[in-house]
Amino acid sequence: MKFRILAQEGFARSASFMGTHGQTETPCFMPVGTLGAVKGLTWEQVKGMGYSLVLANVYHLYLRPGLEVIEAAGGLHSFIGWNGLILTDSGGFQVFSLGRLMKIKEEGIEFRSHVDGSKHFFSPEFVVEFEERIGVDIGMVLDECTPYPATYEYAKHSMERTLRWAKRSIEARTTDKTALFGIVQGGVYEDLRLKCVEELVKLPFDGFAIGGLSVGEPKEEMYRITRLVAPKLPPDKPRYLMGVGTPEDILEAVEAGVDMFDCVMPTRNARNGTLFTSRGKINIKAAKYRKDFSPPDPECDCYTCRNFSKAYLRHLYASGEMNASILNTIHNLHFYAKLMERIREAIKGGYFTEFKREFLAKYRGG
């Protein structure tokens, strides 16, 4: 893995990331392809928007189709037919979302499948082994995702376990073809976050993620922790804010020095009829669009906006047509891709602060 800073403005940086299966430029957004597919789109469409790094999930891939099938196919890239970069989340967040179906132990996490109720166990070592064997470019370590709200004591124990698991993950590595990222936890407590950073950076990780945010805490808390943590991480390694987020969240985090993002929001919202536009979000289900023959976003040049009106998209959604989700997803992912492209250009041009201010004024102004 190679990571090279191309330009910087304040803490905001634009960089080039090279992995085993190609390269991408940051700041970047990763479309979520949990089970090895971005819902409703082909890889050709995803690539055509400018994406070269996508996210998949160990928890889901482990349950279906399973390690044996993926290995028999020659690895995850071959199995899903994607020739770009892949990052896998360990599935820790998904396992913690199981609630009573999950039990945390020092050795790892015991859980029952949400599919058939069968019993399984993830250790930090197994997650690293799984990621290496399926051949992904970036693997996330298994961490304990601290919920919100959490007491100081709970967050402290959770963070300390995350550190112990991080050390075990490093010891379990057998190849450098899969880059390994450590994850900073500690809830909303500044001293815990800083302690986690202090210990984590002593380990030879290829990059670092900020986890445990966007889990229900107020926005300002998320921004505060991001501004605290991101600049403290090694400047020569990528920084990833997990599960974030809205265009506003991304701009705030880029300003703090974050390089990588993922979120189900653009794709999930698309399936629910919400579109991101240069003037904010619109709900295509609204009756006011019944005879609105303008494109979703007149400033967007995506396939959807070039060819279809709000009225038509509303009609498709109201009729339960599959194309409603597809066309909405094309637009939202294109919007995010263009946003990241403009952010990179602004950093390289030295006008990111100005771009952020102007973008948000328009986006929030409606």
pLDDT-based confidence at residue 366 (cuts at 50, 70, 90): confident
In this structure, the answer to whether residues 81 and 146 fall within a common structural domain is yes
288 with 304, same domain?
A: yes
Confidence of residue 242 (pLDDT cuts 50, 70, 90): very high
Could you give the dihedral angle defined by the CA atoms of residues 330, 335, 341 and 342, in that order, rounded to the nearest 10 degrees? 160
Query: Is 10 annotated as ligand-binding?
Result: no
For 298-333, write each residue's pLDDT tens digit: 999 999 999 999 999 999 999 999 999 999 999 999
Is 121 annotated in a binding site? The answer is: no
Q: Are residues 238 and 298 in the same domain?
A: no
Cα separation, 20 vs 81, in Å, equals 16
> Which CATH number belongs to the domain containing residue 85 in this structure?
3.20.20.105
Q: Please tell me whether residues 252 and 269 are part of one structural domain.
A: no
Residue-level pLDDT at 95: 81
- Mean pLDDT over 165-182 rounds to 99
Please tell me whether residues 251 and 270 are part of one structural domain. Answer: no
268 lies in the same domain as 255 = no
Which among 262, 277, 306 is the end of a domain? 262
| 305 and 239 fall within a common domain | no
State the Cα torsion 284-286-291-296 to the nearest 10°. Answer: -30
Q: Is 185 annotated as a binding residue?
A: yes
Same domain, yes or no, for 247 and 359?
no
- What pTM was computed for the model? 0.97
Residue ranges of alpha helices (H) inside 173-287 are 190-200, 219-229, 247-256, 265-271
Number of independent structural domains in the chain: 2
Confidence category of residue 100, pLDDT binned at 50, 70, 90: confident
Using the 3D structure, point to which of 262, 280, 299 is the last residue of a domain: 262
Residues 53 and 182 in one domain: yes
Is 131:89 a contact under the CB 8 Å cutoff? no
Q: Is residue 93 a known part of a binding site?
A: yes
Lowest-pLDDT range of 40-49, 101-110, 127-136, 150-159: 101-110
Same domain flag for 254 and 281 = no
Has 137 been labeled as part of a binding site? Answer: no
- Catalytic machinery residues: 89, 262
Same domain, 83 and 128: yes
Domain endpoint, select from 232, 262, 292: 262
Whether 223 and 320 map to the same domain: the answer is no
pLDDT tens digits along 188-210: 999 999 999 999 999 999 999 99
- Of 19, 135, 119, 153, nearest to 77 by C-alpha is 135
* DSSP classification of residue 84: S
Tell me which residue range forms the domain holding 218: 2-262
Query: What percent of the chain is modeled with pLDDT above 70?
Result: 100
